[in-house]
Amino acid sequence: MKPAHYVNGAFTVAGTSFPLRSPVDGSLAGAVPEAPRELVDEAVRAAGAGLAGAWGEASVEERCEFLRRIAGGIVERFDEFVDAEVADTGRPRELAATVDVPRAIGNFRAYADLAYGRPERAHPTNVPGWSGGGRALNYTVRRPLGVVAVISPWNLPLLLLTWKVAPALAAGNAVVAKPSEETPSTATLLAEVIDEAGLPAGAFNLVHGRGAGGAGEYLASHAGVDAIAFTGATATGAAIMRAAADHITPVSFELGGKNPAVVFADADLAEAVEGTARSSFTHSGQICLCTERVYVQRPVFEEFVAGLAERAGAWRDYGPMISAGHRDKVLSYYRLAREEGATVVAGGGVPRFGDRRDGGFYVEPTVLTGLPESARTVREEIFGPVCHVAPFDDEEEAVRLANDSPYGLAATVWTTDLSRAHRVAPRVQAGIVWVNCWNLRDLRTPFGGVRASGIGREGGEYSLDFFSEPVNVCVRI
């Protein structure tokens, strides 16, 4: 799949290109065109023109039918999407085939259903005295925000791109999307499917390029953009917010995390070990929901650590870091952990396979213990297959440790005490708290973080609320 921009209903490879390397073996995998400022400007203007034309005139029924066509197009090219996702990220094929591509299809279908069946509110009122008084009918309608910039990350490229594009289109907005420069292929495939689905020109536009000093920065600071939806690092979110501030552009951010797991002594220990291994090492820890801090009640601490170390050592179904730079970042934290006094009970280095993967960007699943809560390794997001395990004594200490972070995206609680689960979960300062499970998601529920982990919520009605503006109409009767 050769990456290409898609602007105003046409594909182009305008701009200078930069190399794209395979994370699996480090080989040259292709080239990505960097959208110049002029092309980003053209994409924003095309989106605005689309809103003033056929796309803006489309009814909700027509918009939802387009979304269903897009879902059908992904189904028809399912294997191509899986191949492209695996090539870009190096993630296990099973994950791409059972999670990423099916979720992309589900996103378009779900938002077609939600937008089509969404009720609006009406309130008959009788207000005496004020402003002449009288009876009135108040009803609410929703209108699209306008031109929406969607900036998506490299870790779950297709899933997180469609997670925003689908509700933005369902609500009637025109979209300019900018995927990560590390993972351009499925975004280009999606543009092909959208083109085949017959969306009016300008309804969806795609520009490739880097963030700072490139297409991402041009898009986030553009005066013609009416809203920004972004998933990625907290520092990048802060930069986008600064760029958006001049135009008071509303933002929806899902940012970083340093997610805790709390394991009580009454937990099913085998289940907690397995669940924590999954939440720490799946996709090599490159999921915003992954666990990096684990707190285990002291009576079962040693047994839990031994079990988790065994699972880490046996973990085989993992992919590479997305790039050499990210691999080096994760390895720098492995070194830092040792310097800070950590005990490395599993992993801590680079695996050797004896095949082409030795040229890729892999690191070992790693379990650490022995660090104070003030250690950088414990406080800073690493975004790799690593967790630090520390003991606690009672429920109050567990909640305090879980909340001792600038982040607040996700958490897990492992216990067989139902009362404890209901006491602890609401006290953990995170956008989502799982009890005796991890990453079990209902797409209708709110998703997002608090503090440095984001602004706003996505999912179901919450996404449609962000991507549309409520208008109250009051008619005197």
Count the domains in the chain: 2
CA distance 454 to 445: 16
| Catalytic pick among 34, 42, 288, 387 | 288
Do 363 and 232 have their domain in common? no
Same domain, 94 and 113: yes
Q: Range of 282's domain?
A: 259-435
- Does 440 fall in a domain? no
Q: What residue ranges in 89-217 does DSSP mark as E strands?
A: 122-127, 134-144, 147-151, 174-178, 204-206
- Domain with residue 37: its CATH number is 3.40.605.10
Burial of 131 (0-12, 13-18, 19+ CB in 10 A): exposed
Could you give the CA distance from residue 309 to residue 401 in angstroms, rounded to a whole number? 22
Note down pLDDT in tens along the chain; length 477 residues. 799 999 999 999 999 999 999 999 999 999 999 999 999 999 999 999 999 999 999 999 999 999 999 999 999 999 999 999 999 999 999 999 999 999 999 999 999 999 988 888 888 887 776 556 678 899 999 999 999 999 999 999 999 999 999 999 999 999 999 999 999 999 999 999 999 999 999 999 999 999 999 999 999 999 999 999 999 999 999 999 999 999 999 999 999 999 999 999 999 999 999 999 999 999 999 999 999 999 999 999 999 999 999 999 999 888 999 999 999 999 999 999 999 999 999 999 999 999 999 999 999 999 999 999 999 999 999 999 999 999 999 999 999 999 999 999 999 999 999 999 999 999 999 999 999 999 999 988 999 999 999 999 999 999 999 999 999 999 988
C-alpha 150/C-alpha 426 separation (Å) is: 31
Q: Are residues 234 and 339 in the same domain?
A: no
Q: Which run of H or E residues covers position 468?
A: strand 468-476
Domain harbouring 351, CATH code: 3.40.309.10
User: Is residue 445 one of the residues assigned to a domain?
Assistant: no
**Pair (236, 345) in one structural domain:** no
Residue 446 maps to a domain: no
Would residue 441 count as lying in a domain? Answer: no
Query: Is 288 annotated as catalytic?
Result: yes
175 and 323 within one domain: no
Instruction: Indicate which residue of 42, 181, 254, 381 is catalytic.
Output: 254
Is 387 in the active site? no
Residue 231 and residue 274 in one domain:
no
Q: Are 344 and 286 members of one domain? A: yes
Which amino acid belongs to residue 192?
Answer: E
Q: Does 177 share its domain with 304?
A: no
Whether 212 and 347 share a structural domain: no
